[in-house]
Every structure is written in C-alpha cells, then in structure tokens.
Chains A and B, each alone.
Chain A
Amino acid sequence: MEFIKKYPKLFQWLFLLTVFFALCFAIDVPETYKFIRGQAEFVKDPNQSSYVFLGKEVRYYAFNVFWRLPPLLGWLPIWINDSLFFLMNEWMPIEFWNEDTQEFKTRPLVLQISRNLTAFMTFLIELIREILLGGLETVVAFTSWDWIDKNPWAELPGLPWTIVAAGSAILAYNLSGKGLALFAGLVMVYISIFGQWKPSMQTLSFILVAAPLSFIFGLGLGIAAFKSKRVEKALYPILLVMQTMPQYAVLVPALVLFGVGDHAAVIITMVVAVPPMILLTILGLRAIPPEVIEAGRMSGCNNWQLMFKVLIPTARRDILIGVNQVIMVCFSMAVISAFIGAKGLGFNLLLALNQLNIGLALEAGLCISLIAILLDKMSLAWANKQTDYFGNLTFFQRNKNILFFAATVIIGIILAYIGTFLFKGTFNYLFEVPHNKGISTADFWNKGVDWIFDTFFVYIKAFNTWLIQDVLQPMRALYLRMPAVATLVLVVGAGYLIGGIRSALVVCGLTLFIALSPWWDRALVTAYMATFGVVISCIIGFTVGTLCFQNKHSTNFMLAVCDIFQTFPSFVYLIPVMMLFGITDTSVLIAVIVYATIPATRYTIEGLRSVPIGLHDAATMSGVNKFQRLTKIEFPLAFPHMMLGLNQTIVFALFMVIIGAFIGTEDLGQYILKALSDKKGAGIGFTLGICVAFIGLIFDNLIRTWVEKRKKHLGID
C-alpha cells in the first residue's frame, strides 16, 4: 500500500497493462480467423455475414466482437465513392456553351467547374513550361491550331539552359552570397550535363505554379483564421488531419475529381501545401508584439493598412519560412504525383524503379535531392535576408541584378545561336541537352549494384531471413494477436491516464473509427511496421543526438545533416534501400528507420540545447560531472522536447511505411496504392488515408497532452 501511495501513476499504468494482458489471454483467437489476403475480400464467400446500410451492402467475416469489431463503417468508402460519382456525373446538370462544337451542352456543374479549373491549371503549367522549354500550347490557347499552322514562327522558343543556370546563380547570389550562387550554378550545370534538364524543368514549372497559388491561399486563410476565432476553430481539425495524412492518400480523390496529369497534381498539391502555410501565417501574426499592433492603430491605420503595412511586414520572416515549407511540400508532391501522371523527375524515377534500373533511379534521385537542397537553401536565405537601405544607391547599383540577368540572357541567346553552327546535325548542346543524351552514370551504378549483390548476396540474404523470420514475423503475429477490445482498452486507458476524460474520448473516437473500418488488421500491420521503425529510430536518434551534443561542432554538423536529409522527398529514400536489400519488407523498414531517425536526432539535440545556460553553470558549480549533468539536469528538462521529436518520428515513420507499399508491403499503404489504379478507389483511398492519419493523431494527442502537462509542471514554454 505504501508503495502504491508513493507512486500512484506507476501503479495505474501497471494496472492498465495487467488488464490489457488479461484481456489478451482471456480472448482466444477464433478458429476461423486467418489474416485475410487482399484478393480474398473481392470474392464473395458463403461464410461471410453482411448488412445493408444506406443502401450499401457490406460483406465481412464476423468474429466474436471482443476479437474483431464488425466493420460498421464499411459502407463509408462505398458511400463516398457513390457521392463523388453522383456529384461529378449527375448533380445539377446545367447547359454550357461549348466553344468547339458551337452549341450548348448539358453537363453537371461540378464536372464543369472541375474541367474549367483543370484547363486553367493546365494553361498555367504549360505557360511556364514553355518559357523554360519552348512549345506551342500557350500560343495555341490564345489563337488556334489552324493559325499556328499558317504561322509556324509563333512558337515560344524556350530559354537556353545556360540562361536558367546563370539566372539561378544570380538569384542565389542576391539572396545569400557567393557560396549559394556557386552551388546553384553547379546544380544547374550538373542537371544539364547529365541530361535531366527536361524533367527537371517540368518539375520546376510544376512548383512555380503550385507554390505561389498555395502561398496566396495559405496566407489568405491564415489571415482569416488570425482575425476570426470561428474560422480558426473550423480550420483546426482539418489542419491537424492534413498534417498526419500521408501525402499520397490525397492523390486518390484528386484522380476522380480532376483526372490524370499535371493539373490534377497541382490542385492536390495545393491541398497539401496550404495547411503549413496557414499554420505559419497564424504563428507569425500571433508572435507580433501587441505594442506594434497598438502603434499601428495609434498611427491611424485602418484595418487594411494595419494588415498589409504593419502586421505582414513585421511577421515577414515567419511568413517566408511558411513559403519555404510550401516550396518543400510542393516539391515532394511533385515527385509523388508521378503516381497520377505528373511529368518530371518523379515520373522518371518511378519509371526507373519500376524497371528496377537502379542506376537511372539514382541519377533521377540525385537530381531530386540536389534541387530540393537548392530550393530549401534559397527560400531560407530569402526568409533570413534583411532589407537593406537602398535610397542612396546609384541606378546601376540598384538594378545591377536585373542588368546582369539581361546580360546573361543576351549572352545565352548568342551562345545558343553559335551552338546551331557548332553542333550541326546533332543536338544543340548549348541550347538544351536532351533527355538521356547527356553523360550517364547509370551503367556504372547498375554494375555496382550487381557487384554488391554478387559479393554480399549471402550475407544480405542471411540478414534478411533472420530479420524477417526471427524479428518481424513474431512481432507481426503479436500485433495481430491483440483482440480489438484489448487494444481499445489499452489506448483509451492511456488516454485517460495522460490527459483525463477528454483525451480518453478523443483517442477512443479515433481508434473506434479504425476498428470499425474494414481494415483493422491492415492498420495493425501498419502499426507494427511503424512501431518497429520508431523504436529503432528513437534508439539511434536519441543516442546520436546525445553524443553529438557533447561537442559544439558535431552539434552543428549533425543539425546541418538533418537539415539536408529532411529536404529530400520521402520517395527518394526507397532508391538506396532497394539497391541494397531488394524488394522486401526489410528495405521498407530500413527506409523507415533512416527517414524517421532525422526528427528523433534533431529534436534530441534541440531539446538538449534549449536547457538554459544558467542551469548548466549552476550544475557545474554544484560539482556534477558530465554524466550526472546529463542524467540529472539535461535529460529531465529536454525530455518534453524529445517527446515532441518522438511524435514527429511517428508521423515520419507512418509516411514512409505507407510509401513503402510501392515496394510491396501488406498494410494500409498497399490498399492505397491499389485504390490508385481502381476506378472506384476514391472512397477507399480517402478512408484509408484518414485511417493512417488517425493512427498518427492517436499518438499525437497522447504525446502532446503529456508534453504540455510536463512543460507546465517544469515551468518551461
């Protein structure tokens, strides 16, 4: 009793675990239960039960309710599908004037809107693409194909790659300085020489459309949320779900609404990229000292002047950090959108991976990574750049960047013109190095991969077998062995112990949604893979972070490494693991571990670093040694922040597990991938995405609540 009184929390947790295990042992696995393979669910089986809800028939294998809950939400994906279909094809038919056939045509409203939106986006993308690469479409959009046949000169010529390369170097110089300018120039030259120019520019044009649009919408919504509590409350849950939703789950509904191609990808990219912009806008506006707002008011600003002359310029840095986020999300979406047919680097990467041409994949992947780093560095430099006074500069000084750029344009055009004579009969390399006509190292890499496989095959195979047979399979079995009721009790109990009744209810709702969907088993597999990844990532991340923290240089080095790795779109991580481990669960898990270790490491270092210097000094003066300081002072204080890192680690791990479906796993991600190629997949894909988001949100809620309490307890913000 004494013990219980002394550690009431510990006892409560022990009690919860006891109940959980008791339930696990008390509820037997039903004899008919087997982990259902994907295909089996499309076959009607006489053993299945069924029910009808809202006119949708749901078939399922019934078990003891304690073992698995019946999929009472099984109608939801079908219903979403049907509603979407109805919206797109039947709802509100309205007559529209058709330009081509010169007559009225009846079309459902939503379809028409979606088509118009699509056409607009296509136009924007084509415009920028043709500025960069040349083409006809933009001119045709204003005239007609007939006109262009008669006037073959009226074609956008496209910028020679030399101009784009020099232009980005000038921009980089202007934003940051010589270092970044050199990097920008080298990246562009590399892209060109290695024959990745066209796909890179396609990707870039995609970003140049998606990012500004996302920025405008994000800023607008952010301002609206800042001004009105009601808007913020309405947006908040959407933002929360969007942040934990795997990016490619949203691709599926986009497919239905907007079809296949760049335009659909741009629209859906905006859906993903707007939330971080909103959050950072709100954050930035909130961080403005109230006195600055009052100063604006007392200067006699009306609301408009206050917003655009006082608030937004003052919050400039946070808003530009938001732009950085938007650009990075857009880029990562540009890569993933290859799944719904967006052109560019992602498409080439996907193609190469599908053909198992690791060499080509590596080249595309390297390009993607380099561009990602460049975009990240440049947008960050923009955010950190402070305005300089320019009133006393001469005309030349003020406009030197524009003048330099004009000069490069002229030189570039002259070079390209000279090129037409130099490379007669072949490609004009001074204008554009065509795709796959540049230097390629693919063969070298492919041989390297072959060599690795030949040399280390036995060891890799042995490791693979060991991992799968002795670790992963048992772990998976354990997860699947959990009765639904026991899982629910465990999660809800944890919620109650951490955050009281409110947390318990939230967590219960989220878990029930997954449990009542038809994919509980799959969700468990996702959870097991994510857990495995998270545990290893945390061990590595916390250790590496702590070790690096011992020295200032290694701290900065590690943070820089994290920065760079974080910019890579998650998809890129699949290339090296496939190269080494082939197409197995091991590959996915290793990618998960690599990807999820980044936040674990970063948050550990940041947490340790946020311990106030004063406390360090106080501890040192109390005569603690390094180890004592770490365990008694730094860890307890840094722990809440490290837990936030755990939260991020979980989200990252989930994302990677889902994308890992591309290699072949049998979790929720596999179904999302399948939904992508299924005509009626929209509802399924969307519901699956929500399921994954909810897994993330369960942990998010628990961890955040705990961290907030802990921080309050420690008196740190």
Chain B
Amino acid sequence: MSNPVIKCESVYKIFGENAKKMLQDSNGNVDAKTFQENGCIVGVNNASFEVSKGEMLVVMGLSGSGKSTLLRCISRLTDATDGKIFIEGQDLLQLNNKELIELRRNKMGMVFQSFALLPHKTVVENIAFPLQIKGIKTEDSISKAMDMVKLVGLDGRENYFPRELSGGQQQRVGIARSLAVEPDIWFLDEPFSALDPLIRKEMQDEFLRLQDKLQKTIMFITHDFDEALKLADRIAIMKDGIIEQLDTPANIVLNPATEYVRKFTEEVPREKVLLIEDVMDPSTNENIGDLKVLRDEIIENVAEKILTQEKTVAVIDNNNKIVGSINPTKIINTVFGGRKNNN
C-alpha cells in the first residue's frame, strides 16, 4: 500500500494554561475529568489514524466531541499539544510559517460550516481569492475561478455578492473557493449543517458527484450520522476527544465497538447501509434459485427482488462468479431484526 496522505500518531489537543505539562505528567493516559478539574479542556485525546489517497474519512460526533478540533489540528489552524501529523510524509508540526503557507496554498482546501465568505467580494472574486493570494495574475485567476463557478453550477451569478445568495448557493461558493487551487486534500467542516434538509440532500448529492469526478482525499466533519453513512468510505466516531471507533459504515453498523457507537447505530436503517456481501452466506448451498445479485449491491436496492423469491438467491461478483448465497429470511432479519424490541 502506498503512503497514506494523512497520518496521525497519538495526537492530543488540550486547551488550558499548563496543558503541556499536565500531558507530560499523565504519560499519555489522559482523563478528561481530572484535566477539567485542573482547568484544562481536552479537545482531542490520543487520535491515531491514516487516510489514504482518494479516500473519504468522515469524522462523526456530537457537538463538543472534538471533531472540529481534530480537523483544525490537521490543517494546523491550531497547534496540536502533542503527537505527530504527517501530510504526504511531511511532518506538519515541523513546518515553519512559510512552508505552512506554501502547503495551504497548494495542497489544502477547506469548507466551513458558516460558509466564511468575504462579504466585500463578489462570488467570482471570493473564489479567485486563494489564487490571488498565491500571486496569480488577476485575469488568470478570474478565468480559473469562472471554471469553478461552472463546476458548482453558479453560472450567471458570478457577480453577485454573498449577501445576495441563499445558504445553499453560498456554500457552493465556499466549495468552489476551496477547490480553486486544486488541492489534494479537502477538509470539510460540517459544510451542510447550516442548510435546511432539502437543500442539504441536494448538496450531498452534488458533493458526491464532485468527488466522483475529482477523487480528492477528504476529511469530512459532521454531526449527522445519516450524512456520514451516505458519504463515507470510513467513519470515525468521536466522543469526548476520543475516537471510539474507526471503520467502514457496514462494520460500524454490524459490529459497534462500544455502547456509545451501538446507540447511534440502533436507529439506522440497515438496508440502506449494508451491502449484500455484508450479510450473505459465503458457502454456496444446494438450493439456489435463478436470480443472481451482485455482492456490492446495497440491500435496499435488491431487497424487493430477493423477497419475491422463495429459494435462496445466488450472490455473484463482478466477474459473474458465484461467491455466496442469501436467503430471503436473512433479508427480513436484517431489515426488521436487531432493533430495540425484538433483539
């Protein structure tokens, strides 16, 4: 496997006056309560993980769980108290100011919850801003920005000011701005949380479309578990600064690591998350019917077909080779079983 794009090794972020000293004394075993008694607040507690190229890692947690702090450590908007962060093998915390600016100008883009547009610049000027900061000529940056305007579907509104746009449109500008320098790494801090549900869904679809095209390495922060399931390659669930579990959506739903994670997954409609391969029987038994389903199909999409069968259904891979089987009752159990009452 190639080198991970983002790599964190026991990252700590603790707010407070003598955070550093307390962290040293605690030897890595940080207890939020004792720290709080001493006037320190634990933001991120021993976070270690890797994000590989083209992967989308969604960090999920309720407010105050430290997810935004973690993101700000990795973008170095705040300095981590301890630990190591590597961006494409470069030690982020060792960079001096100039190198850091260079990194941000070329490698990183970030989208913010409240859009954070510059009120005195038009849509296209906002998008061109990071380019102009880099020192690119005005005409070039504007023409590049116009491409971005088209990419996010705002053509015709490029000369509007942020105050004249709706929330969804403003966030499109935010997204376009973060993509203007063609970054490899894309940070999104609750980008859709301030939008109302319909627009949010629209923006999520739009976002998936973009990612399909661009294949960036992404860290996406959200407090919405459904959003995390919909978008993520892998999900990290955070609580009180600790990453409780980091796994694929299916694994999180099927095998919650802690009680806290289990509570989240309880209400999740499994048929929308799990793939056939997650629930299939790997042994191919005798009584297989004519219907074949792909192993990486989401259950919801094929459930109806399977349930109309009486026999067990064959599961095939992309090469049309049978890799397992699935019984209609298994589907019923997956969708309706395992919930609070009948567990």
Give residues in A with beta carbon < 8 Å to B: 289, 291-292, 294-295, 297-302, 305, 309-310, 313-314, 316, 386-387, 389, 391-392
Contact = CB atoms under 8 A, between A and B. Distances in A.
Contact of A298 (B102, B110, B113, B160): B110
Given A294-B77, A314-B119, A392 B114 contact: no
13 contacts: A291-B112, A294-B72, A295-B177, A298-B75, A299-B105, A299-B129, A299-B177, A300-B101, A300-B181, A301-B101, A301-B133, A309-B129, A389-B160
Interface in B91-136: 97, 101-102, 104-106, 108-110, 112-122, 129-130, 133-134
Interface in B155-203: 159-161, 163, 174, 177-178, 181, 187
B122 A299 contact: no
Contacts of A309: 129, 133
Contact of B159 (A299, A301, A314, A392): A392
Contacts of B77: 294, 297-298
A300 B133 contact: yes
A309 B131 CA distance: 13
B159 A391 contact: yes
Main secondary structure of the interface of A (DSSP, over half): helix
A234 B116 CA distance: 32
Given A299-B104, A300-B130, A392-B159, A294 B120 contact: no
B159 A389 contact: yes
A387 B120 CA distance: 7
A389 B110 CA distance: 26
A302 to B, nearest CB: 6
A291 B97 CA distance: 20
B116 A289 contact: yes
Nearest to B113: A291
Nearest to B108: A298
Contact of B130 (A292, A299, A314, A386): A299
Given A295-B112, A298-B109, A313 B118 contact: yes
A387 B163 CA distance: 11
A392 B181 CA distance: 26
Contact of A387 (B104, B117, B161): B161
A292 B174 CA distance: 11
Nearest to B103: A300
Contacts of B101: 300-302
A12 to B, nearest CB: 32
Contact of B118 (A298, A302, A314, A389): A314
Contacts of B178: 298
Contacts of A292: 116-118
Contacts of B120: 313-314, 316, 387
Nearest to B123: A389
Contacts of B97: 302
Nearest to A292: B116
A383 to B, nearest CB: 13
A294 B112 contact: yes
A650 to B, nearest CB: 37
Interface string B198-236: 000000000000000000000000000000000000000
A289 B134 CA distance: 23
Given A294-B72, A298-B109, 18 more contacts: A289-B116, A291-B114, A292-B118, A294-B77, A294-B116, A295-B177, A298-B108, A298-B187, A299-B129, A300-B101, A305-B133, A309-B129, A310-B118, A313-B118, A313-B121, A316-B120, A389-B122, A389-B161
B178 to A, nearest CB: 8
B110 A295 contact: yes
Contacts of B163: 386
Contacts of B134: 300
A470 B117 CA distance: 64
Contacts of B72: 294
Contacts of A305: 133
B133 A299 contact: yes
B299 to A, nearest CB: 39
A139 B163 CA distance: 49
B119 A297 contact: no
Contacts of A289: 114, 116
Contacts of B174: 295
A309 B135 CA distance: 13
B144 to A, nearest CB: 14
A297 B101 CA distance: 8
Nearest to B77: A294
A48 B114 CA distance: 71
Contacts of B116: 289, 291-292, 294-295
A552 B146 CA distance: 47
Nearest to A306: B133
Contacts of A314: 118-120
A310 B132 CA distance: 13
Contacts of A294: 72, 77, 110, 112, 116
A300 B104 CA distance: 5
Contacts of A387: 120, 161
A311 to B, nearest CB: 10
Contacts of B161: 386-387, 389
A316 B119 CA distance: 10
Task: Kindly list the 6 A-B residue pairs having the minimum CB-CB distance in the complex, ordered from nearest.
Answer: A300-B105, A295-B116, A299-B130, A291-B116, A298-B110, A300-B104
Nearest to A316: B120
A628 B126 CA distance: 51
A291 B174 CA distance: 12
Nearest to A310: B118
A697 B97 CA distance: 44
A310 B163 CA distance: 16
A300 B112 CA distance: 15
A392 B158 CA distance: 12
A316 B161 CA distance: 15
A294 B68 CA distance: 12
